[in-house]
């Protein structure tokens, strides 16, 4: 029996006009070489994942953005210093563990200073670059169109969960479902959103 080493082919439907990339040696090499397109893909792809992850850990958008930027700097610096990654397919795990370290350090530094109140609204003087604003506007339009295309019941459920942040048990009582079925309803709404959003971005 001959063991055939299969290269890990990573297939996925592109989201928000993100071109297809494999996390293989060539990808890491392009990152090390500073290829702009690969860097753009890297920061956007992992930036989205980190935003999702950091939402539950850091309160302010500015702190989330800082943690993301610090993670990118550390990962890219490390890759460029070592000129490669021993196992390129573990790039995602490497980014995640670096992000964990950054968050841990933020917590530690935060505990040595006086915490601001939870509801503190600090004016964020930083402004996005013009091209990123245009991209954000473009994406915002596509996201809105995808949401508008959802059945009203889906939109209402999403509003209750994420806009009004209503108590989940209360939502279950109102819909006469249990928590398990609430997950199913969210799963269906998310799947329908993803289908419409992908159509927008690829169509």
Partner 1 sequence: MDHRHAIETLALERYLLGEMAEQERDAFEEHFFSCIECAEDARAAGTMRDAVTSGLAGTPKQTSTKVVPMPAPRRRIASIVVPWAAAASLALVAGYQGLVLRQGQKQLAALIVLSPVTLRPASRGQEPVVFATAGAVLTLAVDLGGGVINGDVEYEIRHADGSAIASDRVPAPKDGAPLLLLVPSSLFQSGQHYVLLVKNSGNASLTPADYRFTVGAR
> Of 82 and 187, which CB lies nearer to partner 1 in the complex structure?
187
Helix, strand and coil percent figures for the chain, each rounded to 5: 65, 0, 35
Q: Nearest 5°: CA angle at 45, between 29 and 142?
A: 140
Helix ranges restricted to H, 56-129: 61-82, 91-111
CB within 8 Å of 43: residues ≥ 6 apart = 72
> Of 3 and 200, which CB lies nearer to partner 1 in the complex structure?
200
Q: Which of 26, 33, 73, 136 is in the footprint of partner 1 by CB under 8 A?
A: 136
> Of 177 and 182, which CB lies nearer to partner 1 in the complex structure?
182
CB within 8 Å of 140: residues ≥ 6 apart = none
159 touches partner 1 (CB under 8 A): yes
Q: Nearest 5°: CA angle at 194, between 203 and 38?
A: 70
131 touches partner 1 (CB under 8 A): no
Tell me the window of 26-34, 73-81, 105-113, 176-184 that interacts with partner 1 (CB under 8 A): 176-184
Q: Residues 37 to 96: which contact partner 1 by CB under 8 A?
A: 45-46, 48-49, 51-53, 55-56, 60-61, 89-90, 92-93, 95-96
CB within 8 Å of 45: residues ≥ 6 apart = 18, 21
Scan for tokens 């293989």, then name that residue: 24
CB of 165 to partner 1, least distance (A): 6
183 touches partner 1 (CB under 8 A): yes
CA distance from start to end of the chain: 45
Cα 153 to Cα 8: distance, rounded to the nearest angstrom = 39
> Of 48 and 66, which CB lies nearer to partner 1 in the complex structure?
48
In the complex, which residues of this chain contact partner 1 (CB under 8 A)? 10-13, 15-16, 23, 45-46, 48-49, 51-53, 55-56, 60-61, 89-90, 92-93, 95-96, 100, 117, 119-121, 123-125, 127, 136-137, 140, 143-144, 146-147, 150, 155, 158-159, 161-165, 168, 179, 182-184, 186-187, 190, 193-194, 197-198
């Amino acid at each position: 029996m001959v063991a055939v080493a299969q290269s890990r082919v990573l297939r996925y439907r592109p989201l928000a006009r993100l071109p297809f990339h494999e996390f293989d040696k060539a990808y890491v090499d392009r990152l090390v070489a500073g290829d702009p397109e690969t860097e753009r893909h890297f920061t956007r792809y992992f930036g989205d994942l980190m935003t999702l992850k950091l939402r539950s850990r850091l309160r302010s958008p500015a702190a989330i953005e800082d943690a993301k930027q610090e993670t990118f700097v550390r990962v890219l610096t490390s890759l460029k210093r070592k000129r490669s990654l021993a196992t390129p397919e573990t790039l995602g795990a490497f980014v995640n563990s670096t992000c964990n370290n950054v968050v841990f350090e933020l917590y530690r530094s935060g505990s040595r200073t006086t915490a601001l109140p939870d509801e503190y609204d600090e004016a964020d003087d930083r402004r996005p670059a013009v091209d990123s604003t245009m991209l954000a506007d473009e994406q915002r339009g596509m996201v809105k169109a995808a949401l508008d295309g959802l059945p009203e019941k889906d939109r209402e459920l999403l509003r209750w969960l994420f806009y009004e942040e209503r108590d989940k048990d209360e939502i279950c009582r109102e819909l006469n479902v249990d928590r398990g079925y609430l997950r199913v309803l969210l799963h269906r709404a998310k799947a329908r959103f993803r289908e419409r959003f992908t159509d927008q971005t690829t169509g």
